[in-house]
Structure 1
Amino acid sequence: MSANSLSITMPTSSAAPKGRVLCVDDEPNILRALSWLLKKEFHVVTAVSAQEGLALVRNSDFDVVISDQRMPEMSGVDFLNEVRQLAPRAMRILLTGYSDMQAVLRSVNESEIFRFINKPWNVEELPAIVAQAAEIARRQESEGEALAPADEPSPNAISQPTRLLVLDDDEATHSAVEMSAGDLGEVIHVTNPAEAFGILEKEEIGVILAERNLGTTDLTHLLCLLKRQHPQIVSIVLTSTMDSNLITRMINQGQIYRFIPKPVKAGYLRLTLKSAIARHNELRENPRLGLRYQVALPANEDLATAAGSTAAPLSHNTAPAAATSPESASPTSLISQVGGFLRRMLGS
């Protein structure tokens, strides 16, 4: 350990801790704040550098690893990517005190974090997020789940035909998918949300490739709701514009698998779709893995809110007041309700 390093193991309360948590940040005051916030519920270990944190991960077993993004010798994204290789069971959370678009994108595209948290954090929400992450990690440990420390899902997981749904009003996207990945599975092309939900009512879809904005329609709400109800569907978002706060929300609330900037590059698109198909087949064959990709949809975000927010630019009408909540409706009925509502809004 270097002379400048600081590693602290905080005592826990008399109750059994909910899990082992590693916090990594180059600012000792941040580590002290995290320790005091979490120590009542968790066994907390801290490190002031990424290298010290990696050494701890190699020699100890952690349920949750929390890292700051801005550290001098290694970014939080790079650190958590290393953690992913060394300890794939550990749930990963990234902290940042500033809006860094590249960090946000890389956190999902490379490190596959569980949550992205902005500083200063909410003192009530952060312990709840850590508790959820620790519970998922411990449940998988108790059930003997084996998570391979690979950069991407194993190619062997691509074992069954998978339907890919492409939702975009840009012909270039549809052409790029057919040219670069048409042999990976059955590709279904649609140009508006109503068509997409009509397909989802009838077909089992494994991967959705969707443009976030279709004209004046923002699909953020519906993509998040869809993941909540169908955790086995893997979502990839195409976007021409980047907003760090919005992408953070889609990471936390929609567990988006990858973001692809436009214009689409055929080689990267093929690799991403192939990886997404493998992830879908893993989730289909072992649904318990879906726990690692739970979404954090706000309590007041329901079907009516999602459908109404999506269709708002299309009509001044509001969503039906008596819409069924996600908790009480089946996934199939939710898709039918949303699809029907959007078709009415679009007049199709």
Structure 2
Amino acid sequence: MHRRCIMRFSNLRFKGITTTPWHIGDRIFGDYRYSRRDYLWGRAVRGAILTYLWRTYCHKSDIREKVRFNPDEDCKNCKDRGECPFFNLRGSGEGEFKDTPKLIVTNLKFKNKLRKDRIPLISLDEEYLGVSKGPVWIEFIPSGAEFEFEIILIGDGVRFKEDVKNAVRSVLTFFGLGGFKNEGFGRGRISDINELNLEEFRNELLKIGEKIKDEIKRNGKITFEIEPILMLEKSKNEYFTSIIEKGFKEKLINCLCERYWQFFKENIYIPIEEVTGASGSVKIRAWSRKYNREIKFEGIAGELTIHISELSDEQALALALAKYGIGKFKNMGFGSLILKTP
């Protein structure tokens, strides 16, 4: 076994199929709600899993609906926190951890090219009857669509592997993912779970690294697609919105090297010479369970082209590893750099 591959580690690769319509919020135009059909953010999957674990293991979740609960205050005083999957896998509110992350959730991706359909919904609640004279039209992905996503557990997080598997199955069966879950959307079932240890995981990345090295040898550059946005912090609560901003290249190198260290506990440096690409600033919105309201994210979307003269195997592996996210919210699908194939 490779000397880097001694840490407790589990890469769970889920495959599943939708059993009801799914709505993945994209944009709203009048009384029409558009849906994506490519992927659901890992942030949404992570949130659903942690909510289920909280409902299952936290004593306070049994008190009443919408109970006041602040993990930063309540969990630290709980006598059962050492064995609680919710407390140990949550990290901070942003999914960050002081050292090595215990839980990483990738974006859930749909396989093949999917068709979309639409359905009208009419509210029976008097509070919303005045919103629209007619029904609200909801785009959705029909049942029978295949999807896949990954969950990575590292270090102490591996202890809760079975809890995570059960949470995924229960969320899909009873609670749903995406939008309009209370209307029965977002249900599914898991058809297969494949597990890799760290050595197997590393070998998979090395295969991607070989493709990266070959492309670098041919063209001196490599292009990645950003999913959904890249949020690199340049100061407190301020993020880069352009790849040409001063300091962006250095921050990108730092984030790539940090991610490599988190997985393999070795320092590395990637000598990136230039960063170009068809990218731009974008703002996206998402619902926050923590704040019980919609919040905004701002960062860089599009493509990122890294110019570099030569790469070692480990440097190429570090670039391949970026598919699991860098920057802010990297442990929940943000900042995923996906190798663009010709």
TM-score between the two structures when normalised by the length of structure 2 = 0.26
Structure having the higher helix fraction is 1
Q: Which has the higher contact order (CA 8 A, sep 6+)?
A: 2
Structure having the higher strand fraction is 2
TM-score between the two structures when normalised by the length of structure 1 = 0.25
